[in-house]
Amino acid sequence: MVTIDPAEVEFSAIRAQGPGGQNVNKVSCAVHARFDIAASSLPEHIKARLLALRDARLSQEGVLVLKAQQSRSLEQNKEDALRRLQALVDKAAEVQLVRRPTKPTRGSQRRRLDGKSRSGQIKALRGKVSE
């Protein structure tokens, strides 16, 4: 597991959106966490996978911007942004197994064709009865 150094993440406090009364208008407790993928200390293969993500939070310069505004506390929002960033890095670090295509077995092909012919016979019996 690769951990992210919090010093590589740039935090900026902004005002949160949505309901919250006067607190929303006065206090900047939401957080924009900016993480420059190319300048980070992550291994190259993880950087490549992160940059290949099709994510609206990833800018063209390779900066990942996460917005955290769930809590009314600035510190809790920072922790939430770091936790979500770590989850993204962990997901990029997982190596997907390459699927090797296989042929269906002879028995499965036979069962499939038997089922098709059985349902065809049932449909043939649904017709009008001729004397």
Number of compact structural domains in the chain: 1
pLDDT in tens, 3-34: 888 889 999 998 888 776 676 677 788 899 99
pTM summary value: 0.69
Residue 27 tokens read as: 């206090």
Instruction: Indicate the residue type of 31.
Output: V
Judge whether 1 lies within some domain.
no
Residue 75 belongs to domain with CATH number: 3.30.160.20
Judge whether 83 lies within some domain.
yes
Judge whether 119 lies within some domain.
no
Judge whether 47 lies within some domain.
yes
By mean pLDDT, which of 22-36, 53-67, 84-98, 106-120 is the weakest? 22-36
Domain extent, residue 53, equals: 6-93
Judge whether 28 lies within some domain.
yes
Judge whether 72 lies within some domain.
yes
Judge whether 118 lies within some domain.
no
By mean pLDDT, which of 23-37, 40-54, 79-93 is the weakest? 23-37
> What is the per-residue DSSP string for 87-116?
HHHHHHHSPPPPPPP-PPPHHHHHHHHHHH
pLDDT in tens, 68-87: 988 888 899 999 999 999 99
Q: How far apart are CA 23 and CA 6, in angstroms?
A: 27
> What is the per-residue DSSP string for 37-73?
STTSSS-HHHHHHHHT---TTB-TTSEEEEEE-SSS-
Please list, in sequence order, all residues whose beta carbon lies within 8 angstroms of the beta carbon of residue 122, skipping any fewer than 6 positions away.
none
Phi first, then psi, for residue 97 (nearest 5°) are -75, 140
pLDDT of residue 27: 78
Q: How far apart are CA 121 and CA 85, in angstroms?
A: 58
Judge whether 123 lies within some domain.
no
Helix axes 44-51, 74-93, angle to 10 degrees: 100
CA 55 to chain centre: 9
